[in-house]
Amino acid sequence: MGRYLLRRLLQLVPVFIGTTFLIYWLVWSVPGDPFAGKCGDRGCPPNYRAMMTEKYHLDDSIWVQYASYMKNLFQGDFGITFGGREISDIIATSYPNTLKLAVVALAIEAVIGLGAGILTGLRRNGFLDNLVLVSTLFLIALPVFVIGFVLQWVLGVKWGIINPTVSNEMRFSELIVPGFVLGSASMAYIARVARTSIAENRRADYVRTAIAKGLPMRRVVGVHLLRNSLIPVVTLLGTDLGALMGGAIVTEGIFGINGIGRQVLRSIVTKESATVVGIVVVLVVVYLVMNLLVDLLYAALDPRIRYE
Amino acid sequence: MSEQSAAGADGSGRPSGRLLEVDDLRVEFRTRDGVAKVINGVTYHVDAGETLAVLGESGSGKSVTAQTIMGILDTPPGFVTGGEVRFHGKDMLKQSAEQRRRIRGEGIAMIFQDSLSALNPVFTVGFQIAEQFRIRRGLSRSDAKKRAIEMLDQVKIPNAKGRFSNYPHQFSGGMRQRAMIAMSIALDPEVLIADEPTTALDVTVQAQIMDLLGELQRERQMGMILITHDLGVVADVADRIAVMYAGRIVEEANVYDLYRKPAHPYTLGLLNSIPRMDEKGQELRTIKGLPPNLMNIPPGCAFNPRCPMAQPVCRETVPPLLQLGHGRASACHFAEELVNRD
């Protein structure tokens, strides 16, 4: 297990360097003048241009730029925006919001998706099964912004049950609807995967053995059947966790949440290249770590694929 | 072994006082393509301390009968349409799900054919054995572990203590089947059903497993139902043999009688199809034709299209399973002729 972990951690190094370089190169290679529109109609004064060019090594080759950026990054320096704001400060204020939303979305996915999947997998072709199949198809088919705007309008504007937008305190009660919107498609997939997985494993020989041992049905399903059926679901949940933590541009936009997704979008639009790179570097790290955690969890659930 | 088989066969004929009795059991599988009559009136019994071998080709209904006894028949598609399964005289088919659950493992236990798929891949072998002591007997984790290691020891798994925390895929086929046996006898069942316990194993390992099963059966005086299609396996271990064909018992006899003088042409065909050293180089003898389609069993005797002795009566009347004395029975119109020939 230790060696497996070490190998996986070492694998992260080239992936990290490769992805961050690609991002850095792409972002700074976008055609156009990074100073255009920064200083109003008259354009930026030459000494400001010179200072910024010097700070970001804009005259050097991309390799030198990347190397010095990385050097600063490892010292905890994400750099500043053209406006002079610390990029680490932007990340620190917006990332917790994204994390909160991600946790709520993931909880909804896991509880509702998994619950529906288990119930329908055990009892196929009933009313509940058909209901879940139709509603999940509906959720998968609808783009997330449609679900978001419809719920915001119906629940928030028409019926007034929720606030149409989320306040700055980011209370968990306010995040239920945005979390549902964000997690809806994955929730539907999880329900379907869990349903198929349970239904498949239900006829498995080892389930029959567990019944033949005279174990109560609760234990046969809750221990023997569930543990095996969870393996594909966990894979799905894990990849989704990485995606959720990458921020939700659409959902954050609809509900006015100041999350990392909106920050990235804003930075791209305003050509705040340093901010884009900074945020994406953080997201890459989060994604890699999440993936590693999922793989470890996967190995814990299924001993057959364990380490070596 | 032969003295024991005689003793086992002695008591037949009386309906009461049996440990486990299957009486005129009927099971059908309702599928989209139609109804398959899988079990068509199976009657057999097993008493404490005796081994009944149930012999038949795949599809003859021997495993489905066992699943019905255990109460693990997949429903749907399988439905019991008639008959009784009596354990200590009580019809289990009429008992509640909870009553039946309590019998499983403690009253009647089962060993499955493919131990790799029959054991849960994500739990250790030890966990799966100890689980029974914890859930059924309420033992603590550490006591259950102790008992489970004892069980592994009893089925002669070397280094039982170390093996406790291995997963099924870390065991060899033979060791895994031993673990499966340990699991099935953990709660000291009165009847052990072994469904083709050696089919998935190497020949050398097969013999070891059969020896182990025979030993445990004698030590614990269990009634054992050994389901197999392997005539060679049967001869050493079984007291009585019931031969199944198309969901019926076509012949029942003690081992000696059955091998010496089969009372059913199907049994005769099976015995003749065993390869013999003195016929080396000659073509293997087989039973002509294929087992019947269970959705469309031929009228009369189900074996008649393949039977070398078939007469017009065989195509019209289903031969009942008739007692021939000495605890043997045959479902053939010409059973007397077969037994009395020299």
From first CA to last CA, the distance across chain B in angstroms is 26
- How far apart are the CA of B102 and the nearest CA of chain A, in angstroms? 6
Q: What is the pLDDT of residue B235?
A: 80
Of all helices (H) and strands (E), which one includes residue B53?
Answer: strand B51-55
Whether residues B160 and B239 share a domain: the answer is no
Residues in chain A whose beta carbon is closer than 8 A to a beta carbon of chain B?
Answer: 203-206, 208-217, 219, 224, 227-228, 301-304
Q: What is the pLDDT of residue A161?
A: 83
Query: Residue B112 falls within a domain, yes or no?
Result: no
Of all helices (H) and strands (E), which one includes residue B249?
Answer: strand B248-254
Q: How far apart are CA A131 and CA A135, in angstroms?
A: 6
Max Cα–Cα distance, chain B, nearest Å: 67
Cβ-in-10-Å burial (0-12, 13-18, 19+) of A160 comes to exposed
Q: Which residue blocks in chain B are alpha helix, DSSP H?
A: 2-10, 62-70, 97-103, 115-118, 125-137, 141-154, 160-163, 173-185, 203-220, 231-237, 255-260, 265-272, 312-316, 335-340
Q: What is the pLDDT of residue A38?
A: 67
Residue A289: CA atoms inside 13 Å, Cβ hemisphere, count?
8
- How far apart are the CA of A103 and the nearest CA of chain B, in angstroms? 28
What are the φ/ψ torsions at residue B189 (nearest 5 degrees)?
-70, 155
User: pLDDT-based confidence at B13, cuts 50/70/90?
Assistant: very low
Give pLDDT tens digits for B275-327: 777 777 777 778 888 888 888 888 888 898 888 888 888 888 889 888 888 78
Q: List the single best residue of A123, A200, A213, A234 to mutate versus B (max B Cβ within 10 A).
A: A213
- Listed in sequence order, the residues at least 6 apart from B341 whose beta carbon sits closer than 8 Å to its beta carbon are none
Q: How far apart are CA A183 and CA A114, in angstroms?
A: 13
Whether residues B19 and B63 share a domain: the answer is yes
User: pLDDT-based confidence at B244, cuts 50/70/90?
Assistant: very high
Whether residues B207 and B305 share a domain: the answer is yes
- A21: which 2 tokens? 């370089």
Q: How far apart are CA A71 and CA A24, in angstroms?
A: 14
3-state secondary structure of B242: strand
**Quick check: A214 and B110 CB within 8 A?**
no
Whether residues B158 and B234 share a domain: the answer is no
Residue of A nearest to B120 (CA): A206
Query: Residue B146 falls within a domain, yes or no?
Result: yes
User: pLDDT-based confidence at B5, cuts 50/70/90?
Assistant: very low
* Interval B39-47 mean pLDDT: 91
Torsion of CA A213, B155, B113, B105, to 10 degrees: -20
Whether residues B146 and B237 share a domain: the answer is no
Query: Residue B47 falls within a domain, yes or no?
Result: yes
Any A CB within 8 A of B275 CB: no
3-state secondary structure of B147: helix
| pLDDT of B68 strictly over 90 | yes
Task: Give how many domains chain B has, as a whole number.
Answer: 2
Query: Residue B103 falls within a domain, yes or no?
Result: yes
- Listed in sequence order, the residues at least 6 apart from A161 whose beta carbon sits closer than 8 Å to its beta carbon are A155
Give pLDDT tens digits for A148-176: 999 999 998 889 888 888 888 778 888 89
Query: Residue B250 falls within a domain, yes or no?
Result: yes
| pLDDT of B341 strictly over 80 | no
From the list A215, A217, A228, which residue is nearest B122 (CB)? A228
What are the φ/ψ torsions at residue A35 (nearest 5 degrees)?
-95, -5
Which residues on B lie below 8 Å from A209 (Cβ)?
A: 112, 118-120, 183
From the list B109, B114, B167, which residue is nearest A205 (CB)? B114
Residue B81 amino acid letter: T
Whether residues B216 and B67 share a domain: the answer is yes
Q: How far apart are CA A246 and CA A283, in angstroms?
A: 6
* HEC profile of chain A: CHHHHHHHHHHHHHHHHHHHHHHHHHHHHCCCCCCCCCCCCCCCCHHHHHHHHHHCCCCCCHHHHHHHHHHHHHCCCCCECCCCCEHHHHHHHHHHHHHHHHHHHHHHHHHHHHHHHHHHHHCCCCHHHHHHHHHHHHHHHCCHHHHHHHHHHHHHHHCCCCCCCCCCCCCHHHHHHHHHHHHHHHHHHHHHHHHHHHHHHHCCHHHHHHHHCCCCHHHHHHHHHHHHHHHHHHHHHHHHHHHHHCCCHHHHHHCCCCCHHHHHHHHHHCCCHHHHHHHHHHHHHHHHHHHHHHHHHHHHHCHHHCCC
Give the residue from A90, A135, A142, A138 showing the smallest Cα distance to A282: A90
Any A CB within 8 A of B103 CB: yes
Whether residues B163 and B308 share a domain: the answer is no
From the list A203, A205, A303, which residue is nearest B112 (CB)? A205
Q: Which residues of chain A have pLDDT under 50?
A: 308
Of all helices (H) and strands (E), which one includes residue B51?
Answer: strand B51-55
Q: Enumerate the domain spans of chain A.
A: 14-77, 96-305
Any A CB within 8 A of B123 CB: yes
From the list A205, A301, A302, which residue is nearest B117 (CB)? A205
**Quick check: B187 and A210 CB within 8 A?**
no
Which residues on A lie below 8 Å from B123 (Cβ)?
A: 224, 227
Q: What is the pLDDT of residue B12?
A: 41
- How far apart are the CA of B72 and the nearest CA of chain A, in angstroms? 7
- Listed in sequence order, the residues at least 6 apart from B291 whose beta carbon sits closer than 8 Å to its beta carbon are B57, B59, B60, B245, B246
Residue of A nearest to B184 (CA): A213
Q: How far apart are CA B95 and CA B67, in angstroms?
A: 16
Pick the more confident residue, A112 or B237: A112
Answer yes or no: are the C-beta atoms of B211 and B254 closer than 8 Å: no
Answer yes or no: are the C-beta atoms of B289 and B306 closer than 8 Å: yes
Any A CB within 8 A of B230 CB: no
pTM of the model: 0.80
Give the strands of the sheet with B78-87, arranged side by side: B34-46, B20-31, B78-87, B90-91
The number of C-beta contacts closer than 8 angstroms across A and B is 74
Query: Residue B315 falls within a domain, yes or no?
Result: yes
Q: What is the pLDDT of residue A1?
A: 67
Q: Which of B134, B163, B186 is the last residue of a domain?
A: B186
Residue B86 amino acid letter: R
Give pLDDT tens digits for B183-223: 999 999 999 999 988 887 888 888 889 889 999 999 999 99
Whether residues B140 and B78 share a domain: the answer is no
Q: Which of B186, B211, B236 is the last residue of a domain?
A: B186
Answer yes or no: are the C-beta atoms of A248 and A97 closer than 8 Å: no
Q: Which of B186, B211, B240 is the last residue of a domain?
A: B186
- Listed in sequence order, the residues at least 6 apart from A130 whose beta carbon sits closer than 8 Å to its beta carbon are none
Partner residues linked to B44 by β-bridges: B22
* Interval B16-45 mean pLDDT: 89
Q: How far apart are CA A128 and CA A137, in angstroms?
A: 14
From first CA to last CA, the distance across chain A in angstroms is 7
Whether residues B212 and B237 share a domain: the answer is yes
The parent domain of residue B77 ranges over 2-107+189-276+283-340
Q: How far apart are CA A231 and CA A282, in angstroms?
A: 28
Give pLDDT tens digits for A65-124: 888 888 888 888 888 877 778 888 888 888 899 999 999 999 999 999 999 999 999 888
Q: What is the pLDDT of residue A307?
A: 53
Give pLDDT tens digits for B126-163: 999 999 999 999 999 999 999 999 999 999 999 989 99
Give pLDDT tens digits for B79-119: 999 899 999 988 999 999 999 999 999 999 999 988 889 99
Whether residues B324 and B181 share a domain: the answer is no
Q: Interhelix angle for A260-269 vs A87-108, to 10°?
A: 130
Q: How far apart are CA A32 and CA B194, in angstroms?
A: 78
Task: Output the domain CATH number for residue B23.
Answer: 3.40.50.300
Whether residues B24 and B172 share a domain: the answer is no
Query: Residue B113 falls within a domain, yes or no?
Result: no
Fold of the CATH domain A96-305: MetI-like fold (1.10.3720)
Answer yes or no: are the C-beta atoms of A80 and A86 closer than 8 Å: yes
Residue of B nearest to A298 (CA): B122
Cβ-in-10-Å burial (0-12, 13-18, 19+) of A48 comes to middle
Query: Residue B158 falls within a domain, yes or no?
Result: yes
Angle (CA) B22 A212 B34, round 5°: 65
- B209: which 2 tokens? 């497993």
Unique residue bearing structure tokens 């498949």? A200
Q: How far apart are CA A284 and CA A286, in angstroms?
A: 5
Whether residues B124 and B93 share a domain: the answer is no
